[in-house]
Structure 1
Amino acid sequence: MTVTILSSGLPPLTAVRLLDSWQPDPYALALVALLGGLYAWGVARLARRGEHWPVVRTAAFALLGLGAIVVATMSGLAVYDRVLFWPAAVQNTVLDLIAPLGLALGDPLTLALRALPPDGRAARRLRAALSARVLRLLTFPLVSTVLVLGSELAVYFTPYFESALLHDGLHELMYLQLLLTGSLFMLPMLTRQDLLPSWCGHPVRALLVFLDGLVDAVPGLVVMVSGTLVAGGWYAARQPSWGPSAHQDQMIGGGLMLTIAELVGLPFLIAVFAEWVRAERVRTAALDATLDRASTGEPAGAPTGAAPDRPWWETDQGSVGDRFRRGLY
């Protein structure tokens, strides 16, 4: 593996060079180390208490979430993002869609709530933050969708992107913005449903994820067909002799944005359906256990002294009896 130093005299970009060209990003490294360290601490703390944390969630967080951050900010995409538009477009899309998906599948907030001492200050602050009105507003489905779309459009159709290419600090803030806005939509949809309104059940979430897949395709489509060059002055001054023309470069970038958005939409939708199936299985198991108890004796919640010759569902005061009386079973 080679480390390529960013310069205006970069060699032609090939598939091999895209894979083996790397440059360090200290800010991204610090973020990955912080998130990975905290997650590992939570998993280790649960293990010491004899509690299980799913390996699949850990793998999703580490490989898909943190791994996507590393690839976007330090791989060949980062090496070539200042001489060609399409690597920068892929970078931003990875940070906006793929990395948040991996982080959300890892369910870090639930891990933190389980690992922290329940009565400790950190746990209380985390619970307070999760119930805060500001966070609930930002994670409201319509708001979070608009934030994701607005964030991407602001990057490409304002001077923001060209300024970020000029100033490293602003570039890092743009990375963080894309990661955060993507996470505000992904995290509640996949693992923290308590951040969503009560009406946002699994069928509604599946519909919202489907619609979000259509919305995510908008920036790539607009970039691909736009006659205005994104950061045109910057890339025109640095266009390599071996690269595509500026318009071709932008069309390639928009096409890749569109492709990644559609590819991410399917596993996102599958993950929501998988969570739906899991929740239904848990609910069915609880209902079966209640029915088993009711069929072997007096059901819980039945009034004392109920006539023994009356069917149990006529006297049961719980939800199961109510559903039987209404003919739902």
Structure 2
Amino acid sequence: MNDLAPGPLTTAGWFTSWRFDVVGVVLALLLLVPYLWLLVQARRRGVRWPWWRIAAYLVLGVGTLLYVTCGVVGVYRQTFLWMFAAQVGVIGTVTPVGLAVGDPLRLLAAARGTKDTVVHRALQSRLGRLLTFPAVSFLLDLAGILAIFFTPYGDHAVRSSVIGTLLILQLLVVGLLYVLPTLGDDLLPEWATPPIRTFLAFLDGVADAVPGILVMTANSFLLPHFPGFSHAADALRGGLSHTMDQKYAGGALLAVAESIGVPMIAAVFIEWMRTDAEEARAADAELDRAETERAVTAATPSAAVDATDGLDDDEPATDQPWWLTDPRLADRFGKRDD
């Protein structure tokens, strides 16, 4: 498939260049409709979902997916290699982070009133735990992006609708396999504490920079059959050489990776603070409960009886301690009056 842009890229084109992309629209609807339905179900159960999670899911998640498939990036993905690289970077990195910040798994549990759902069981299965294990999902993510630019996979994906669709699904699924456990709960082993997840988010930001650096410094054309390198595209490229286009492609990968790296680390850090706050509240509640039990026990009549057990009721009151006035103990201390 050769679907070059209808005209040269202009400043206004960043906002006005749009096309209907079936894959992008269908995927957006598949992500959007169930999430909105879960929001309604959760609200019926009395759960008010945080607005910032909804905004992240809609804008950073679904919104970026639509923009890079139907917006200017999708329009020029076959004209400029750096646009294609930007699409790869956004779908593989930015969109999964936005979806994960929306916390669809916890929303599903809130809407159903239980974590025993098909999705949760699938992720907790042996295969699910294997795929979401940090080392496995990290390697899948890195190897997938490298394969796009250093094997014929990328060349075929940019020219074939079927392979291009598979590429988008691969980027989205593999990205979610890494990001969802990092930003969520119960998907990582017990040793993956919030500090460890913060480190994993930092490591992901560093690793995502590797493909961009390799593409930027490559000495040969990585996608020699890219449609934008044909003579038919010369009039649309504004004089941009193929070599510089490839360097810009590496820069686009690097810029996208680093732009989402800091927000992802911040999101994990906020989750860390939230977890610590919940643990602190639970500890305070337990201490308050124990203190209340001790106060109730000390105030019961039985405690008062135990404290005065064995004292002679006819013995006059005295200011001396009870262990000096008790007939059974006075001899031991040598303080009893004859």
TM-score > 0.5 by shorter chain: yes
> Cα–Cα, structure 1 residues 290 and 139, in superposed 2: closer, same or farther, change >3 Å?
same
* Structure 2 partner of 1:204: 196
Listed as ranges, the matches of 1:129-144 within 5 Å are 129-144=122-137
Q: Which runs of structure 1 show a deviation greater than 3 angstroms over 4 or more consecutive aligned residues? A: 6-10
* Structure 2 partner of 1:89: 85
> Cα–Cα, structure 1 residues 247 and 24, in superposed 2: closer, same or farther, change >3 Å?
same
> Cα–Cα, structure 1 residues 299 and 19, in superposed 2: closer, same or farther, change >3 Å?
farther
Shift of 1:295: 2.4
> Cα–Cα, structure 1 residues 239 and 294, in superposed 2: closer, same or farther, change >3 Å?
same
* Structure 1 partner of 2:234: 240
* Structure 1 partner of 2:209: 217
For residues 204 and 184 of structure 1, the distance between their equivalents in structure 2, rounded to whole angstroms, comes to 17
Deviations 1:30-75 (A, max 9, x none): 1111211100101011222322111111111111100011011111
For residues 202 and 100 of structure 1, the distance between their equivalents in structure 2, rounded to whole angstroms, comes to 19
> Cα–Cα, structure 1 residues 30 and 72, in superposed 2: closer, same or farther, change >3 Å?
same
* Structure 2 partner of 1:285: 281
SS in 1 for 2:294: coil
Listed as ranges, the matches of 1:69-218 within 5 Å are 69-116=65-112, 118=114, 124-191=117-184, 193-218=185-210
> Cα–Cα, structure 1 residues 226 and 288, in superposed 2: closer, same or farther, change >3 Å?
same
Structure 2 letter corresponding to 1:240: D
Q: Which has the higher contact order (CA 8 A, sep 6+)?
A: 2
Question: Identity rate of aligned residues, in percent?
Answer: 39
Shift of 1:88: 0.5
Query: Is contact 2:32–2:62 with CA below 8 Å preserved after alignment?
Result: yes
* Structure 1 partner of 2:60: 64
For residues 102 and 246 of structure 1, the distance between their equivalents in structure 2, rounded to whole angstroms, comes to 33
For residues 140 and 49 of structure 1, the distance between their equivalents in structure 2, rounded to whole angstroms, comes to 32
* Structure 2 partner of 1:320: none
SS in 2 for 1:233: coil
Deviations 1:275-327 (A, max 9, x none): 00011011111111111222233399xxxx99x99xxxxxxxxxxxxxxxxxx
5+ residue gaps, structure 2, are 297-301, 308-338
> Cα–Cα, structure 1 residues 299 and 85, in superposed 2: closer, same or farther, change >3 Å?
farther
Query: Is contact 1:45–1:115 with CA below 8 Å preserved after alignment?
Result: yes
Query: Is contact 1:68–1:98 with CA below 8 Å preserved after alignment?
Result: yes
For residues 182 and 9 of structure 1, the distance between their equivalents in structure 2, rounded to whole angstroms, comes to 28
Residue 220 of structure 2 is aligned to residue 228 of structure 1: yes
Shift of 1:230: 2.4
Shift of 1:118: 4.4
Query: Is contact 2:47–2:110 with CA below 8 Å preserved after alignment?
Result: no
For residues 275 and 26 of structure 2, the distance between their equivalents in structure 1, rounded to whole angstroms, comes to 36
* Structure 1 partner of 2:25: 29
SS in 2 for 1:194: coil
Query: Is contact 1:12–1:243 with CA below 8 Å preserved after alignment?
Result: no
* Structure 1 partner of 2:35: 39
SS in 2 for 1:50: coil
Shift of 1:165: 1.8
Query: Is contact 1:239–1:246 with CA below 8 Å preserved after alignment?
Result: no
For residues 193 and 89 of structure 2, the distance between their equivalents in structure 1, rounded to whole angstroms, comes to 28
Shift of 1:240: 1.9
Deviations 1:70-113 (A, max 9, x none): 01111111111111101111011000110000000011111112
For residues 176 and 45 of structure 2, the distance between their equivalents in structure 1, rounded to whole angstroms, comes to 29
Listed as ranges, the matches of 1:9-24 within 5 Å are 10-24=6-20
Deviations 1:132-161 (A, max 9, x none): 111111111111110110000011111011
SS in 2 for 1:273: helix
Shift of 1:124: 3.8
